[in-house]
Amino acid sequence: STFQFKESYPEPYSVPTPKPEWLELIKDAKITNAEPLKTKDGALVVPSDLNGDPNCVWSFTQCLGKDDVYTCPDSKWSLTFDDGPSEYTPKLLDFLKSINQKATFFVVGGQVLQYPEILKRAYNEGHEIAMHSWSHKNMATLTNEQLVGELKWNELAIKEVLGVSPRFFRPPFGNIDNRVRDICKALGFTPVIWSVDTNDWYLTEHADTFDPKWITGNVTQWAATAKGGNSLAHDLYEETVAAAIDYTPVLAKAFELTSVGDCNGLSSYTNGNGTAVNPPPAASKSSEGSPAASNAPGS
């Protein structure tokens, strides 16, 4: 890469320590007092006192916070891609350019360090760039301080490359609760979940049993029945990019494809100092009910 980062960044995919000045941004914030969730063998442990889900944990009950964005209004659709940028992202960008459509990319810290030019290209071609954490861990398992580090290091790497601070943050695996939401809000970020999951990560993790045609089959059903939506997919693997190139035309025929910010009438970027540029959104509630439950490690 010819891009030279000036900042010294934490180890990719490690939980980072925040800069002291970042902790100042949350010191007067009202943050839900919730214990970090536990994991066992890599899986989240469901708390015994989940009754009523007082902390609104999306992973357990698909509970949405009032500012969470998860879909698009009628007739609009957001294609969203997580975990990049990667060496396969340019192929997806070429395709999106050829059909003149825009997407939202939720990028991970270490991938930004590895592929800054690809990130810049996506941004320059009009795609929306958003955050997907520094370490790609379950966010609700981390401490408040660690969460600040996850968000601000992710933001800083993007800002160094693009000159703008993203507004939107998608928690890996959709793992968010009110404590994580409060920290996002104090830092000026807006959480984004999804309304439907392509489950494209099965293409790499269950390649022997999973047929890529199943994804296009699901997408065909969404195109026929959904009013609007926000689909979760990934640009980290050759297989998931190939699947996206296959199913995107189905969605493009049925919906106006646009970014998460665009379809929800929200600015994509903030001024980066812990205050959002404009008031927090009312999350769009246009799709019936809540998003389909997904136990996917996806995202």
DSSP, res 69: B
- Output b/e per residue, 127-141; b: 16+ Cβ within 10 A: bbbbbbbbbbbbbbb
Instruction: Check if the beta carbon of residue 59 is closer than 8 Å to that of residue 175.
Output: yes
Is residue 182 part of the annotated active site? The answer reads no
Give CA–CA dist 83/237, Å, rounded.
9
Instruction: Check if the beta carbon of residue 167 is closer than 8 Å to that of residue 132.
Output: no
Q: Which of 297, 31, 12 is nearest to 143 (CA)?
A: 31
Residue type present at position 229: G
The residue from 82, 177, 235, 262 that is catalytic is: 82
* Size of the chain, expressed as the number of residues it contains: 299
Give CA–CA dist 120/117, Å, rounded.
5
Instruction: Check if the beta carbon of residue 186 is closer than 8 Å to that of residue 26.
Output: yes
Q: Which of 19, 24, 261 is nearest to 127 (CA)?
A: 261
Is residue 82 part of the annotated active site? The answer reads yes
Give CA–CA dist 188/172, Å, rounded.
19
- How far is residue 229 CA from its own chain's centroid? 14
Instruction: Check if the beta carbon of residue 107 is closer than 8 Å to that of residue 131.
Output: yes
The residue from 83, 234, 235, 262 that is catalytic is: 234
Cite the active site residues: 82, 234
